Amino acid sequence: MHKTHLGGVVKEQNPLRKQNTIFQETGSFQVYKKKKGKGEKVKTIFNKKAIFGVFFAVVAIATISTSVALAYSWDPADGLRIDGSTTVFPIVKAALGATAEGATSTAGPFQSVHAVQAQVYQGGSGVGRADASAQVVDLGMASSLTGLASNVTATKIARDGICVIVNNSVAVTDISPAQLKGIYEGNITSWSTINTSASGTIVPLARLVGSGTRDAVADFTGMNKTTEQTFIGNATRYDTNADEAAAVVGTPNSIGYVGIGYAATLQAAGTAKILTVNGKTATAQNVTTNNASKLYPFSRYLYLLQCNTPTDPTIIANASHATAFIQWMATYDGPAQEIVAQQDYIKLVPDSDITMDGIINGLDLTQLGIKWNKRVSNRSLTAGDRADINNDGVVNGLDLTKLGLWWNNRYGTSSSDLTPDYPVIP
Could you report the per-residue pLDDT of 85-125, keeping only the tens digit for each?
Answer: 999 999 999 999 999 999 999 999 999 999 999 999 999 99
The rounded distance, in Å, linking the Cα atoms of 79 and 276 is 42
What is the predicted pLDDT for the residue at 77? 67
What pLDDT does residue 78 have? 75
Distance of alpha carbon 257 from alpha carbon 230, whole angstroms: 18
Which of 10, 239, 261, 256 minimizes the C-alpha distance to 123? 239
Which of residues 270 and 363 earns the better pLDDT score?
270
Mean pLDDT, rounded, for 254-276:
94
pLDDT of residue 204: 97
CB 139 within 8 A of CB 82: yes
Euclidean distance between CA atoms 141 and 150, whole angstroms: 16
pLDDT at 75 over 80: no
By DSSP bridging, strand 80-84 and strand 139-142 are parallel
| Spans of all domains in the chain | 163-268, 362-417
Q: What pLDDT score was predicted for residue 392?
A: 72
At 378 the pLDDT is 53
Please give the full DSSP string across 342-376, using - where no structure is assigned: HTT-B----TT-TT-SSS-SHHHHHHHHHHHHHHH
SS3 sequence, 74-134? CCHHHCEEEEECCCCHHHHHHHHCCCCCCCCECCCCHHHCCCCCEEEECCCHHHHHHHHHC
- Contacts for 11 with CB less than 8 Å, ≥ 6 apart: 3, 4, 5, 240, 242, 243, 246
Tens digit of each residue's pLDDT (9 = 90 or more) over 286-333: 776 544 456 788 989 999 999 999 999 999 999 999 999 999 999 876
Mean pLDDT, range 60-71, rounded to an integer: 34
97-101, 373-377, 414-418, range with the lowest pLDDT = 414-418
Give the distance, in angstroms, between the CA of residue 410 and the centroid of all CA atoms in the same chain: 28
Cα–Cα distances in angstroms (integers) from residue 165 to residues 88, 134, 169, 190, in the given order: 19, 35, 12, 16
For the CA atoms of 68, 73, 79, 80, what is the dihedral angle to 10 degrees? 20
8 falls in which pLDDT band (50, 70, 90)? very low
Q: Which of 2, 86, 119 is nearest to 261 (CA)?
A: 86
Chain centre to alpha carbon of residue 374? 37
CA-CA distance, 410 to 421, in Å (whole number)? 11
pLDDT over 60 at 375, yes or no: yes
| Banded model confidence at residue 382, pLDDT cuts 50, 70, 90 | low
- The C-alpha atoms of residue 241 and residue 254 are separated, in whole angstroms, by 15
Find the range with the poorest average confidence among 35-49, 119-133, 236-250, 356-370: 35-49
- 198-207 pLDDT, tens per residue? 999 999 999 9
Give yes or no for a contact between 248 and 166, defined as CB atoms under 8 angstroms apart.
Answer: yes
Mean pLDDT of 43-69: 32
Q: What is the CATH architecture assignment of 163-268? A: 3-Layer(aba) Sandwich (3.40)
Residue 417 and residue 371: Cα distance in Å, rounded? Answer: 29
Q: What is the mean pLDDT of the chain?
A: 77
* Band of pLDDT at residue 384, cut at 50, 70 and 90: low
| Widest Cα–Cα separation across the chain | 79
Query: Do 131 and 84 meet the contact criterion of CB atoms below 8 Å apart?
Result: yes
Residue whose C-alpha is closest to residue 281's, from 342, 340, 222, 346: 346
According to DSSP, the residues that pair with 215 across neighbouring strands are: none
Name the percent of the chain in helix, strand, coil, to the closest 5: 30, 20, 50
Confidence of residue 225 (pLDDT cuts 50, 70, 90): very high
d(C-alpha 202, C-alpha 298), whole Å: 21
Reported as a pLDDT band with limits 50, 70 and 90, residue 283 is confident
Confidence of residue 245 (pLDDT cuts 50, 70, 90): very high
Cβ count near 373 (within 10 Å): 11
Question: What number of other Cβ atoms are within 10 A of residue 331's Cβ?
Answer: 16
Lowest-pLDDT range of 3-12, 148-157, 374-383: 3-12
Does 39 score more than 80 pLDDT? no
Q: What is the model's pLDDT at position 135?
A: 96
Greater confidence, 348 or 227?
227
Using alpha carbons, select from 287, 175, 210, 192 the residue that is nearest to residue 31: 210
- Which SS3 state, helix, strand or coil, does residue 219 take? helix
Number of neighbouring beta carbons within 10 Å of residue 40: 8
Closest residue by Cα to residue 237 from 247, 227, 224: 247
Task: Kindly tell me if the per-residue pLDDT of 391 is higher than 80.
Answer: no
With pLDDT > 70 as the criterion, what percentage of the chain qualifies? 69
DSSP state of 334: S
| More confident call, 363 vs 164 | 164
- What does 223-282 look like in DSSP terms, one character per residue? --HHHHHHHHTTTTEESSHHHHHHHHHHSTTEEEEE-HHHHHHHHHHTSSEEEEETTB--
Provide the pLDDT for residue 35: 34
